[in-house]
Structure 1
Amino acid sequence: MILAVMFLGAAVHRTGNGGADRRCVAGTAAGVLVCAVASAYRGGDGGRFTRQGWILAFLLAVFTFGAGLAARHLRVPRPLTAPGTISYLVYLVHPVLPAAADGTVGRWRHDAPALEAAFLAVLLPLCALTHRYVEVPGQAWGRRLARRVQPGSRRGGQPMW
């Protein structure tokens, strides 16, 4: 299902750029949604509550994607874009912090709201700093490199092939 959703995202992107038929992609989207819900309902390995939770989370993610797609041309205030700016870094860094804590101070037996608040108090600024000092310079370097190396050509304008 993960691959189906990923390829569906690519098809939706192509539709937005005029590269795919909207009706075909809408039908594909409906098929992927039905298959995702049906596979979770029928083949889920958890109890009823777990399957329903997964289905609800999946449908909410689809709704969020659709709302974002519908509002993609609207101007969004900068503070509301900050979570999206660091979201991939949150995805990458969030498992590292508990691993580091386990190796240094040990694992707590129970979750506590204060520990979760401390986790977020470390995670979010760390991700913002990583974005500012690693990701943004890396993107700038990539753009400079891309401008220097034109696709399909080499030094002196000779074709690459």
Structure 2
Amino acid sequence: MFLGTAVYRAESGQSTCRYAACTAIVVVACAVGAAYSYGDGSHFTRRAWIVSFLLAVFTFGVGLAFRRRLIPRWLTWLGTISYSVYLVHPVLLAVTDGTIGRWRENKPLLELAFYAVLMPLCMLTYRYVEAPGQALGREVARRVRRPS
């Protein structure tokens, strides 16, 4: 989010592109360095955090590059529920780890089942928790705004 704010400010003329680029370098270096230095000791876990973060930065860059183009509806839907996915997936992982356990190697059928549960669950949490919360936030902000 910090990097997104820096890019937004550079695009809107509130700062420079150089500042946004420096911010990107610092954010990536700090995140990768923290994952490497303070990981839980497992090489796999460190690598997973670093790769996940770099893929997130790459996804952000692709989105930034294509932001003025038409986006497929399913991708827009995934972006809409992405915060719910971010919040719900660790809970679902904890539940599955506690009930069926974690396998040493990936099982495509179990991964498919995980996503088959995660996506509808996130759609529900978006619709009944996140969207009403956003509406409430907008209403509170509207009421708090001082008239000019």
TM-score, normalising length: structure 1: 0.66
Structure 1 unpaired stretches of 5+: 1-5
Aligned to 1:3: none
Partner SS for 1:137? helix
Structure index of larger Rg: 1
Query: 1:97 maps to what in 2?
Result: 92
Provide the residue aligned with 2:114 in structure 1: 119
Corresponding residue pairs, total? 144
Identity %: 57
Cα displacement string for residues 61-104 of structure 1 (whole angstroms, at most 9, x for unaligned residues): 3222112112222221212211111111111111222444566x
Contact 2:85-2:122 within 8 A present in 1 as well: yes
RMSD (Å), alpha carbons: 3.3
Report the Cα offset of residue 145 of structure 1: 3.4
Amino acid in structure 2 at the alignment position of 1:108: G
Q: Aligned partners of 1:127 and 1:9: how far apart in 2?
A: 23
Q: TM-score, normalised by structure 2?
A: 0.71
Give the drift of 1:55.
Answer: 4.9
Query: Residue 86 and residue 32 in structure 1: after superposition, are their counterparts in 2 closer, same or farther (change >3 A)?
Result: closer
Unaligned runs of 5+ in 2: none
**Is the CA contact 2:96–2:102 (under 8 Å) kept in the aligned structure 1?**
no
- State whether structure 2 residue 4 is matched by structure 1 residue 16: no
Distance change >3 Å, CA 36–CA 119, structure 1 → 2: closer
3-state secondary structure, aligned to 1:76: coil
Inter-partner Cα distance in structure 1 for 2:129 and 2:36: 44
How far, CA to CA, are the matches of 1:99 and 1:129 in structure 2?
19
CA pair 42-115 structure 1, distance change in 2 beyond 3 A: closer
Match of 2:73 in 1: 78
Superposition deviation, residue 35 in structure 1: 5.6
Distance (Å, rounded) in 2 between the aligned partners of 1:109 and 1:150:
48
